[in-house]
Chain A
Amino acid sequence: MAKKMLEVNQLTTKYITRQGEDVYSVDHVSLDIEEGKSLGIAGESGCGKSTLALSLMGYYFPPLHYTSGSIVVDGKDITGLDPDVVRKTVLGTDIAYIPQAAMNALNPTRKVGKFIEDVIKAHELPMDKKQIREMAEQRFARLGLPVEALDKYSVELSGGMRQRVVIAVSTILNPKVLIADEPSSALDVTSQKMVIKMMKDMLASGLVKSMIFITHELPLLYNVTDDIMVMYAGQIVERGSAHEMVFDPVHPYSRGLMRSILVPEEGTRDVKLTAIPGTPPNLKHPPAGCRFAERCRYATNACRYNAMPILEFAPGRTYRCGHSVEHLREVYASEDEE
């Protein structure tokens, strides 16, 4: 069995609002990724995808607070570490995080090469400028980025190039887990493809050992990651391989998501496009039962009041629903016939 690069057990984090209310935006999330694998996280906006990404780093700053659970990266427990320690010993080497719109984060007054120096300095590695430069050039060449980009300012680069530079800089120390939050959603399809290609190459060649990819674009996830996990209202509602999740989703919410996919392929024009009515619940007062019940067409009264545990129904496949898998599949099959 392959080595686990990231093991997260029952991680719960919360935001504390100015009014002093707790908002549990990541609620008992457990996940694991093996070496060389990638995991996609899907869900609509406000379901906790980005908060989960922030929480996985183990680097908490208000209003985000750690509540319970553990994060283990390649056998090293990083939960409860001091933020300064996390920044020096975890970020960059164990976990690299690429936030949304990262390409706008480059300081326009500094050249790209300087950012790499900064990363090395922040980790207090014994390297001089020449060695750093050599390492940066090698890495850029390896990733198919022009070496001249190192001597340019970020504003001189195109959007797609900037995003690739950000990824190259943040993975310069070969992190074990790369967490990318919507790395390509602001880009054109062609630039997006280049970014994705680079990330897949990095994973395949072991420059990063595992990858978490967050996006709401399902066709993209399907093509990029091995597994897909669907989040709803701070909880995981289903997990499975990318193929299973797209073609055989079990949870009604996942099914709703998968049925909203539109791709320019034959047959798309005959698809019945359906919406999931309503909005996600307010997590200040999460529903006692299934959090999706209010929007679910199959919900029963029991769904609304009984807390839903997450269950494994096949190897590598988990779901969180009050109905049995057989029942759901029957219902879906009869719907598809209509």
Chain B
Amino acid sequence: MKTKNETGILKDSVPVGQKTDAQMQDDRESVSFGSNRNKDFSKEPLCLSGKGVTRVFHTGKVTTVAVDHVNFEFHKGELISIVGESGSGKTTLSKMLLGLLEPTEGEIFFHGQPRDISSGAKKREYWKGIQAIFQDPFSSYNQFHKIDAVLDDCINMRGGKNLSKEERFNMKVEACGFVNLKYAELTNKYPFELSGGQMQRLMIARIFLLKPEILLADEPTSMIDACSRATILDMLLKLRDETGMTVIFITHDIGLAYYISDSVYIMEHGKFVECGKPDKVMLTPEAPYTKRLISDVPKIHEPWDLSTVG
């Protein structure tokens, strides 16, 4: 709606009494952790675990061990961060967790049972339990598919193939509402017509429809501004509270990992050098690599010692 004000300049305006988009989001603007903050997850059942998981790449005569005998135990409802610099093997590990890459050695357990994804049907079944949000929302969508199709696919995957149009519509409205998007504005649009933040929120709407047990989020906020980051984090946390989802964060943002996680794994050259509660790992690091990593992050209350680098 365009109205003219005293100065004669055209301006998008909102009638008094009607809420703007910004105000609608007001009640959601800060991150709330629910009851799961500082909970002890080690008593929860195991969701995903791995023993001696290794992945080796061969290029010509060069052998690269991207992930080197890592062990991990992710519990139900836990929020895990895997932190490492580029080249530490984070992405290779996440691909193995998703079943996009086979480990060269070692085994991944899903609900305590060895994971079996040997056939396409078994893989699809596994993917009902684990889903991912990737770093770059701009390249996560098929640009020829409308947003409706993106959401319909999710409903179909959850066994909603025979639902009526109306039921589907209601589900889509609910999913979009969960991430503060208006379905009416999205329908019949293509993903590239949205902003980066909206695309990432649509990704979360997908997850809301799929309700996987495990969500693997690979740098979900690194392409988004710090000030809209809180909204995305809040939505992920709310999703976890509502569905008991396990969230695995892959990130190099150490501040973020410290703030949000229940447990942190620090990765260096394909190995976990340290893991544990964020307070322990980040504030009293023991491994030399973790110490260096923490000291290299610029902080605001402690001085940043520049003399430690060549």
Contact = CB atoms under 8 A, between A and B. Distances in A.
Q: Do A and B come from one complex?
A: yes
Interface of A: 44-45, 144, 188-190, 192-194, 196-197, 200, 216-220, 222-224, 246, 256-257, 260-269, 271-279, 281-282, 285, 287-288, 294-295, 297, 305, 307
A290 to B, nearest CB: 12
Contacts of A220: 298
Contact of A261 (B28, B292, B300, B306): B300
B259 A265 contact: no
Nearest to B227: A276
A330 B167 CA distance: 50
B230 A288 contact: no
Contacts of B306: 193, 196-197, 200
B283 interface: yes
Nearest to B10: A285
B279 A269 contact: yes
A277 B231 contact: yes
A263 B297 contact: yes
Contacts of B294: 264
Nearest to A219: B298
B11 interface: yes
Contact of A189 (B85, B226, B279): B85
Task: Report which residue of B23, B253, B306 has the largest number of chain A beta carbons within 10 angstroms of its beta carbon.
Answer: B306
B25 A278 contact: yes
Contacts of A216: 225-226
B301 interface: yes
Interface string B267-310: 00000000000110011000000001110111111101010111
B256 to A, nearest CB: 5
B22 A257 contact: no
A295 B22 contact: yes
A243 B190 CA distance: 44
Contacts of A265: 283, 299-302
28 contacts: A144-B310, A188-B86, A189-B254, A190-B296, A193-B308, A196-B306, A219-B297, A219-B300, A223-B304, A260-B227, A262-B258, A263-B255, A264-B257, A264-B299, A265-B302, A272-B30, A273-B259, A274-B29, A274-B30, A275-B30, A275-B230, A277-B25, A277-B26, A277-B231, A278-B20, A278-B21, A305-B5, A307-B7
A268 B20 CA distance: 32
Which secondary structure dominates chain A's binding surface?
Answer: loop
B228 to A, nearest CB: 6
Contacts of A192: 296
A288 B9 contact: yes
B31 interface: yes
Contacts of B226: 44, 216-218, 257, 260-261
B20 A188 contact: no
Contacts of B195: 279
B6 interface: yes
B46 interface: no
Interface in B232-279: 233-234, 252-259, 278-279
Interface string B192-235: 00010100000000000000000000000000011111110110
B185 interface: no
A273 B31 contact: yes
Contacts, number: 158
Contacts of B28: 275, 277
B296 A193 contact: yes
A100 B229 CA distance: 22
B298 A190 contact: no
Nearest to B38: A269
A267 B22 CA distance: 29
Contacts of A288: 5, 7, 9, 11
Contacts of B259: 262, 268-269, 271, 273
Nearest to B13: A304
B12 interface: yes
Contact of A278 (B22, B85, B233, B252): B22
B58 to A, nearest CB: 22
Contacts of B21: 277-278
Contacts of A196: 306
Nearest to B229: A260
B22 to A, nearest CB: 4
Contacts of B233: 273
B229 A275 contact: yes
Contact of A285 (B11, B252, B282, B301): B11
B230 A294 contact: no
Contacts of A267: 301
Nearest to A189: B296
Contacts of A268: 255, 258-259
Given A44-B225, A189-B297, 19 more contacts: A189-B254, A192-B296, A216-B225, A217-B226, A262-B259, A263-B258, A263-B297, A264-B254, A268-B258, A275-B29, A275-B228, A275-B234, A277-B21, A277-B22, A277-B29, A282-B12, A305-B5, A305-B7, A307-B7
Contacts of A200: 306
B296 A264 contact: no
A219 B234 contact: no
A189 B29 contact: no
Nearest to A247: B300
A294 B23 CA distance: 8
A201 B259 CA distance: 32
Given A219-B298, A220-B298, A268-B259, A274 B292 contact: no
Ranked 10 nearest A-B pairs via Cβ? A275-B230, A278-B22, A262-B255, A277-B25, A44-B225, A189-B296, A260-B226, A188-B85, A276-B227, A264-B258
Given A193-B296, A193-B309, A263-B297, A285 B12 contact: yes
Nearest to A194: B309
A175 B278 CA distance: 44
Nearest to B261: A269
Contact of B282 (A256, A257, A264): A264
